[in-house]
Structure formats: C-alpha cells, structure tokens
Structure 1
Amino acid sequence: MTIRYLAPLFLVFAAPSVGAHEVWIERDASGPARIYLGEPADALPVSGDPEFDHLKAPKLMPASKAALTRKAGYLEVNVPAGDVRAHDDTVFAPWGEATKKEGVAYYARAGRSEPRALMPMEIVPVAAGSDRFAVIRDGKPVKDTPVTVISPDKWSKSVKTDAQGHVAVPIREKGRYLISASLKDEGNFDTTLGAVSVLHSIATTTFVVD
C-alpha cells in the first residue's frame, strides 16, 4: 500500500500557514548543500515553494559563517565534506491562542556517513552507510513513532520505529531518498520567536543511493 506524505499533516489543521511543509537538505557528493522548504513528496515548482520566502537563515551545525545564497527555490551554501546539518525555529511565527501558542522547529540533515546526532532531534544511520536509521531526540532513541520514506520517484510509505527507535528504509532504486519524522510536545518551550506551549519538531534526512 502506498502512503503519501503523512509525517506532519496535523499541522494543516493546527496552522494553515505552516501546512505540511518540511525543511530538507540535498547534497551531491562534496558539492554545495541546497536547503529547501516545501512538500518533498510533490514536485517542486520551478520558482520554489510559495512559502519559501519564510526560510531565511537556517543555522548550520557545526556552526558556520559560510554565506547562504538564495536561489530559485532553495538556499545554497558551501560546506566541508561530510554530512550536512541545519536547524531553524524561525520559519513560521508562533500561532494559536495567546494562552496556548504553538511553534515549529525544523531539523534537517543530508548524508549517512556519521552514526551520531548533533541536533536536539535527528534521524541518523545506525552505522555508516546503513539503510537502517534511528530517530534520536535529546540523545535518546524514539520508539514507536511514524517515519515517512520518500523514494527518488516520489513513492512514499509510512513505517514505525521499533523498540530501539530504529527503522529500515526500503531501497527501491538508485537516487535520493528522504526520511521524515515529527514529534509534538506540550509544556513550556522557549523558541527564537518566543515562548510556546506546544512545540512541533520535524526532522528530515536525505541520502543518495548510487
């Protein structure tokens, strides 16, 4: 059964301006990284996603002073060889009732050479080059959580992490795969744009099968 893009659809109802958007990174070999905002299960418009202007200054991790260049639909940045990571909680301003504001934080990664997490939420390979990944939040694996896999031809499927927080990605063909997961937490959270009572964390990882 083919399942299309389930990861953050709850946001459609929570905040129409956020919709089902995700931030993800694409990188070919050791070339520049391209950081996107959009709906990865769908073909990207030539001029970029209509909400792309909300993506302004994602932070690279490790921190970098490399310049971000705005292109048609993505931000481009030259980074050292290896896996690329970026996070951003300023894409969409908090929304909702004054007493229960909601916010969203994006965590994006490209590559599967490093089996470790550097960001508060990250989807990491369990071993270098592995097709098995773990959803990690605050250094700990997250079990029984949905993960969406999108193949190079836009086929997609939702699977759940196991008791160890791991999930196997079904490899169908050569090309770029994208994995995404989302978590919703209630409490008191400080974001760059202000305090919120509900925080949606959305992580993506892309990797290329040659």
Structure 2
Amino acid sequence: MRIACQALIAVTLAAGLSLPAQAAYLWAARTDDGAVSLRLGELSSPRADDDAGTLLAPRAFLADGKALPLSRAGSGFAVEAGASGDVRAEARQLDGQGGLTIYHARAGRSETRAVSDLELVPTRPDGNTFRLFWKGKPVAADRVNVQTSAQWNRSLQAAKDGSVTLDTPFPGRYLLEVSVRVNGVVTVDGKRYEAVRHTATTSFEVGK
C-alpha cells in the first residue's frame, strides 16, 4: 500500500494532533479455542453483518508477513486456531464522501516489534506500557482510548516520551485504540481521497 504525504502524518502525530476516537474500529481477539476473531465496531457493541461486509481487502498476517486464511464468521471474520504469536489484521472502508478509513488491528501483546503502518506496541513482552509507531518509527499520540470487557473505560494521555501506561485491575479483555487523520488530499494505491484516517487497535487478555 502506497500512501502519499507520509511525512505529513508523521509530523501530525508527533505534534499530538490525533483525532478523537471514532465510533467504529476494527479489533482482533483470541477466542477460547485459540482462533482469532475480527470484528468491526466497538468492543461493547460490534456492528452487524452488513457493516462487516463493507470492509475492503481484509487480511490477517503474522509478524513475519505470513498471510493467514481469513473467512467470514457471523458479524465479522475469523482466523482458524493454530497461529502462534500476535496476529495482525488490516482492512479498508469508504465513507461515501471521498474519504477512506484504513483499519489496523492486533491481537496480543507478546511482541515488541511494530509491523502494521500504525500500531500500538508494548515496550516489553506482555507489559502495560505502549508506544505508538508509524511506519516503524515511534511517534507521540495525543490520546489513547482504553475499553474493557468489564466496561472499565479510560482515556490515556501520553507521557513526555510519548508512551502510555495503563493499569489492568480487572480480568478480561483490554483494548487500546487510537485514530489519526492525514490532512489534505491523499493518494493511496494510485487513487486520490479527500481524507484518509488510520485507526489502530491492540487487544489482549488479562487472566484472573
């Protein structure tokens, strides 16, 4: 995927000009049987089947770039059990007004390497401090939103070094989300869009 004005989004992020969280995002999570589910919507209220069907070019992959088979499952998608390590997924969605949203999702926090264009990455395996990366380089996010399966939600402000740290007082699923926008007309894969938004999520489980 080729995106014009890459420097612009890097400068925007470094300046802390991220957008408020949008209502929908893409998120990936391990299921009890070891598979990975991929859903569109908020953690507490996934979207319906027809909304997931509007996603363009959905794909799932590992840190080494190996593609994982992705199939429709209910109101989302699924990756069969057997994938080891953290699983990433990406998809796109048009807004009908000349805009494009590019979703990035990650299930797990065991790896400290950024793979997707926009990704929240733990500073140590299974840690609670995260850095935001754009194209493999750390940038500062103005705000990172946290939702949990226990309905404990927070908005985290970045520290001086650009990292965010969260507490995990409850067992269950935790999801971190950040959304940013590229200003001006943007070219993606040879097509021009009036606005391009990137939304990234990282989810993980905390045991009892």
TM-score for the superposition, normalised by structure 2: 0.79
Give the whole-Å Cα distance in 1 for the aligned partners of 2:87 and 2:138.
20
Instruction: Give 1:111's match in structure 2, choosing from 108, 111, 126.
Output: 108
CA positional deviation for 1:135: 1.1
Aligned to 1:93: 94
> What amino acid maps onto 1:143 in structure 2?
A
Give the whole-Å Cα distance in 1 for the aligned partners of 2:190 and 2:169.
40
Aligned to 2:52: 52
Q: Which has the higher strand share?
A: 2
- 1:67-78 map, 5 Å: 67-78=69-80
Give the whole-Å Cα distance in 2 for the aligned partners of 1:144 and 1:123.
10
Q: Which secondary structure state, in structure 2, belongs to the residue aligned with residue 106 of structure 1? A: strand
> What amino acid maps onto 1:132 in structure 2?
T
Give the whole-Å Cα distance in 2 for the aligned partners of 1:37 and 1:44.
6
CA positional deviation for 1:207: 0.5
* Bigger shift: residues 56-65 or 115-124: 56-65
Q: Which secondary structure state, in structure 2, belongs to the residue aligned with residue 51 of structure 1? A: helix
Count residues with an aligned counterpart: 186
* Bigger shift: residues 200-209 or 145-154: 145-154
Report percent identity of matched pairs.
30
Structure 1 residues without counterparts, runs of 5 or longer: 1-5, 10-19
Distance 1:144 1:56, change over 3 A: closer
> What amino acid maps onto 1:53 in structure 2?
G
> What amino acid maps onto 1:52 in structure 2?
A
Matched, 1:133 2:134: no
Aligned to 2:87: 84
Q: Is the 8 A contact 1:174 1:209 kept in 2?
A: yes
TM-score for the superposition, normalised by structure 1: 0.78
Aligned to 2:26: 23
Matched, 1:143 2:145: no
* Bigger shift: residues 105-114 or 53-62: 53-62
Structure 2 residues without counterparts, runs of 5 or longer: 1-18
Q: Is the 8 A contact 2:120 2:132 kept in 1?
A: yes
Give the whole-Å Cα distance in 1 for the aligned partners of 2:49 and 2:165.
30
